[in-house]
């Protein structure tokens, strides 16, 4: 079942230098969400496409010329209301802690359950319960 947060401005952006894995994530999310989903492998191209509109950003740790930690401040300076989810094969706790302190909402280690964890987090970001129990879009347009 596909979900739509009732806002066509929502966008999911994936920055992962691994073309194969990034496309797997993109295709998985396209099967579950109607939001616009883009995958980028190069940091500069990703940053040029980033706007002040809030997005959900899925960020890898190891990138071509830097780390995901290096990109977080640039993302937040361009789009401070975006939600960043760190999706990485990096197992070191200090990387996860640093990413969370920098403003990442969640840290997911790449494994066989990571796609479903990612879907669950995106569901929480896109839909926040109203006080009357109805769904409400979390991201502001």
| CATH number, position 53 | 3.40.50.2300
Average pLDDT value for the chain: 84
> Quick check: is 117 in a domain?
yes
Could you give the number of structural domains in the chain?
Answer: 1
Query: pTM to 2 decimals?
Result: 0.83
> Quick check: is 4 in a domain?
no
pLDDT value at position 130? 42
Parent domain of 16: 11-137
> Quick check: is 67 in a domain?
yes
> Quick check: is 25 in a domain?
yes
Instruction: Please say whether the beta carbons of 139 and 7 come within 8 A.
Output: yes
Would you place residue 84 in the very low, low, confident or very high pLDDT band (cuts 50, 70, 90)?
very high
pLDDT value at position 30? 94
DSSP code of 55? -
Tell me the mean pLDDT in the region 35-40: 92
**pLDDT surpasses 70 at 4:** no
For every residue of 16-51, DSSP letters joined together read: -S-HHHHHHHHHHHHTTB-SEEEEESSHHHHHHH--
> Quick check: is 5 in a domain?
no
pLDDT value at position 138? 41
> Quick check: is 61 in a domain?
yes
Task: Compare 8 and 23 and report the one with higher pLDDT.
Answer: 23
> Quick check: is 6 in a domain?
no
**pLDDT surpasses 50 at 132:** no
pLDDT value at position 91? 81
**pLDDT surpasses 80 at 101:** yes
């Amino acid at each position: 079942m596909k979900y739509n947060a009732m806002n066509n401005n929502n966008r999911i952006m994936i920055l992962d230098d691994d073309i194969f894995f990034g496309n797997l994530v993109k295709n998985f999310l396209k099967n579950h969400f109607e939001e616009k989903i883009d995958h980028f492998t190069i940091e500069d191209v990703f940053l040029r496409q980033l706007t002040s509109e809030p997005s959900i950003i899925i960020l890898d740790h190891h990138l071509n010329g830097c780390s995901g930690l290096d990109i977080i401040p640039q993302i937040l300076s361009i789009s401070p209301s975006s939600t960043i989810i760190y999706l990485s094969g990096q197992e070191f706790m200090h990387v996860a802690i640093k990413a969370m302190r920098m403003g990442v909402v969640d840290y997911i280690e790449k494994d066989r359950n990571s796609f479903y964890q990612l879907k669950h987090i995106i569901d929480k970001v896109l839909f926040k319960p109203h006080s009357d129990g109805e769904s409400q879009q979390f991201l502001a347009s």
